[in-house]
């Protein structure tokens, strides 16, 4: 028997639940939601997030923080209008150290967050990832591409947790008519990233700002594209608010401007004025050789495109990291 969701409310002050709201991306979303008149409830176990990311919001009358693992049953009194599921380790260091927790938050955590949305008649957004494309055989990557993922490799715990989360989200959409959204996030950078995050931006900046050698894996010809965090969050917000019969379909959000790792390292050295030299190390297993989003869908349905140039985004990111070193 199909369970119908409750009709979603449209109050003057909508309530948003943000799982992982004390993380890098989640905390920036919380800032935007509060600035746009939402009441926000953060649920985060702080396994990779930090209260430092939301310390500037202490005492805000429309913000509540709950320290809880989202793989456990989520009970909240009162109405909820939007559930933004951001909780998950998201860097190689994190998910290689926490493979089981990563799989659990993508599976059990997504199940619990979807259950909350269904119970409250809320709209649900899953933050998926470009990693679901694996080491892609199609370039750039459109949402129609099914991916090339090694399920038993060291990155499989993250890739498969997100692929399962997408399948679970679509199951709730089809069986329970939960209004769902899926965003596939490509490389994002900005203030509040952790220095020991393991991703390329904090790794390069941490090395450059201390004049240590910048580590290039492989020959450095593998490519990435980098989206500033404010651009990403704007795209995600527009996706959650999108109406229409195809709003549930996955949507890439990222910056299509592509750089090799060698080019990006040189850009970091110029931006920081660093004396760092480049050193090469073996390429990690299953590291994607190319990564660039096809943002045709986001451009068409969200009227969205990245606005912040790399040089501008790096300036504010470098200022943040200088204050942390």
Q: What are the residue boundaries of the structural domains of the chain, listed by start?
A: 15-187+228-255+293-307
CATH of domain 15-187+228-255+293-307: 3.40.50.720
Q: Is 233 helix (H, G, I), strand (E, B) or coil?
A: helix
pTM beyond cutoff 0.85: yes
Q: How does DSSP classify residue 142?
A: -
Cα–Cα distance list, 135 to 148, 204, 283, 290 (Å): 6, 22, 13, 7
For helices 261-272 and 310-324, give the axis angle rounded to 10 degrees: 60
pLDDT band at 196; cut points 50, 70, 90 = confident
**Please, are residues 67 and 46 in contact by the beta-carbon 8 Å criterion?**
yes
pLDDT above 80: residue 5: no
**For 89-146, how does the pLDDT look when each residue is reduced to its tens digit (9 = 90+)?**
988 889 889 999 999 999 999 999 999 999 999 999 999 999 999 989 999 999 999 9
Residues 6+ apart with CB under 8 A from 321: 195, 202, 205, 206, 209
Q: Which of 86-100, 172-186, 206-220 has the highest mean pLDDT?
A: 172-186
Q: What are phi and psi of 103, to 5 degrees?
A: -65, -40
- Selected catalytic residue, list 82, 95, 133, 158: 158
pLDDT band at 284; cut points 50, 70, 90 = confident
95 carries an active-site annotation: no
**Please, are residues 72 and 48 in contact by the beta-carbon 8 Å criterion?**
no
pLDDT above 80: residue 7: no
For helices 200-209 and 310-324, give the axis angle rounded to 10 degrees: 60
Q: Alpha-carbon distance 156 to 163, whole Å?
A: 10
């Amino acid at each position: 028997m199909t369970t119908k969701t409750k009709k979603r409310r449209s109050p003057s002050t909508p309530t948003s639940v943000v799982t992982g709201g004390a993380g890098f991306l989640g905390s920036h979303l919380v800032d935007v939601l509060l600035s746009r008149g939402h009441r926000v409830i953060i649920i985060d176990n702080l396994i990779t997030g930090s209260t430092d990311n939301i310390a500037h919001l202490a005492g805000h009358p429309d913000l509540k923080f709950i320290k809880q693992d989202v793989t456990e049953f989520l009970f909240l009194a009162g109405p909820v209008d939007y559930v933004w599921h951001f909780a998950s380790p998201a860097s190689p260091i994190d998910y290689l150290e926490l493979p089981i927790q990563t799989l659990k938050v993508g599976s059990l955590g997504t199940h619990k967050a979807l259950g909350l949305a269904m119970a409250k008649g809320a709209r649900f957004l899953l933050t998926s990832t470009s990693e679901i494309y694996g080491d892609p055989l199609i370039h750039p990557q459109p949402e129609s591409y099914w991916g090339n993922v090694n399920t038993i490799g060291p990155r499989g715990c993250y890739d498969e947790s997100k692929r399962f989360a997408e399948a679970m989200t679509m199951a709730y959409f089809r069986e329970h008519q939960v209004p769902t959204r899926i965003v596939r996030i490509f490389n994002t950078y900005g203030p509040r990233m952790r220095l020991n995050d393991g991703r390329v931006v904090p790794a390069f900046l941490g090395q450059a700002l201390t004049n240590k050698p910048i580590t290039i894996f492989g020959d450095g010809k593998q490519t990435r594209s980098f989206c500033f965090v404010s651009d990403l969050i704007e795209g995600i917000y527009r996706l959650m608010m999108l109406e229409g019969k195809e709003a549930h379909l996955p949507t890439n959000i990222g910056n299509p401007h592509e750089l090799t790792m060698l080019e990006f390292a040189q850009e970091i050295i110029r931006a920081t004025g660093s004396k760092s030299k480049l050193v090469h190390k073996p390429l990690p297993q299953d590291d994607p050789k190319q990564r660039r989003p096809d943002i045709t869908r986001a451009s068409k349905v969200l009227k969205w495109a990245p606005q912040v140039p790399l040089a501008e985004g790096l300036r504010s990111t470098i200022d943040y990291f200088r204050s942390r070193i």
